[in-house]
Amino acid sequence: MHPLDLTQWRHEHVFDHGNRAGERNTWRVVALTSAMMAIEIAAGWLFNSMALLADGWHMSTHAVALGVSGMAYVLARRLAHDARFAFGTWKIEVLAAFASAVFLAVVALYVAVESAARLFRPLPIDYEQALLVATLGLAVNLLCAWLLRDHHHHPHSGDDASHDPLHAHGDRHHVDLNLRSAYLHVVADALTSILAIAALLGGRLAGWNWLDPVMGIVGATVIAAWAYALIRDSSKVLLDREMDHPVVERVRRLIEGDGEATISDLHVWRVGRTQYACIVSLVAHTPKTPDEYRERLRHCPELGHVSIEVNPCPRCRKQP
């Protein structure tokens, strides 16, 4: 397929079948975490464990956000051929990722406030039962991570470096942000479960009752950092802030490389997981047809749609 053939590209990339494996496993994770959520919240209140309660409340938003992610896949697929979406429905998934990140941020704030309050107003904790529930919660989180493991692409640090576990490997520009948000909720849940277990063990074995709310604050801080990273990356796509992507420099190099033409206006934005649209206005000493300049961009397979405007250099026009 010619990389700039928009009709064929829309069929294969915008009107694709989505991440069907990721979608199926997302719904499986929703079912698992919804059940565990109810258990952990009830146990946290019953056994007075702030760390366990924090894990349960975070798992509740995890279930809601995963449900949003699953519905985004469904809507993107069902509306794929709706002509009202000029560049397809992929950004429905990105919007779901943004909403999911907001859920994370709100829960992080709630957990931090509640944990700080428990530092000054500690309550007795039933460590035996709380440990049992926290361990069960961790097992569910690990199972959820296993379900999503083969379908999540890890972005690397790049120019927006982050230390969250989702910036460890791969190409951050080609990531499925919707599935990334689901995976991030799973990882965050696993973290809060581990912190809850550590806090409960410290309280049971060493009498460190203060460790429970402290671990709640630590977990809230880490979750907030991950939420910020996801908000940053998803909002970047939604706001079309893509002019720092490497493809922009490749376009400039391919058009201006021979020194005959100069780009006067350039716009590049993402319209799919790995696809970009591009509008180029250029000034040339010896103007060629738009198709000739478009041919140069065959070396940029990321470009799914290219519009080129060619203008003659005013200084090079012959005087009458």
pLDDT in tens, 252-289: 999 998 888 999 999 999 888 778 999 999 999 888 89
Tell me: pLDDT of 151 over 70: no
Tokens of 292: 């000739």
Q: Which of 51-55, 177-181, 198-202, 306-310 has the highest mean pLDDT?
A: 306-310
Residue among 281, 201, 275 nearest 13 (CA): 275
Over the chain, what is the mean pLDDT? Answer: 76
Q: Are 57 and 110 in contact (CB under 8 A)?
A: yes
Q: How far apart are CA 41 and CA 23, in angstroms?
A: 27
Single pTM value for the model: 0.67
Number of H helices and E strands in the chain, helices first, is 9, 3
Residue 60 sits at the vertex; the CA angle it makes with 227 and 29, to the nearest 5 degrees, is 90
Amino acid letter, 142: L
Q: How many CB atoms lie within 10 A of CB 77?
A: 18
Residue among 10, 11, 55 nearest 33 (CA): 55
DSSP state letter for 318: P
In CATH, the number for domain 6-238 is 1.20.1510.10
pLDDT > 70 fraction of the chain, expressed in percent and rounded: 80
Alpha carbon of 170 to those of 23, 175, 197: distances in Å?
21, 8, 31
What is the β-pairing status of strands 276-284 and 303-312?
parallel
Residue by residue, what is the 3-state secondary structure of 18-54?
A: CCHHHHHHHHHHHHHHHHHHHHHHHHHHHHCCHHHHH
Query: Domain extents for the chain?
Result: 6-238, 246-316
- Quick one: fold of 246-316? Alpha-Beta Plaits (3.30.70)
pLDDT tens across 200-242, in order? 888 888 888 788 788 888 888 888 888 898 899 889 889 888 8
What is the β-pairing status of strands 276-284 and 261-270?
antiparallel
Residue among 236, 234, 217, 193 nearest 101 (CA): 234
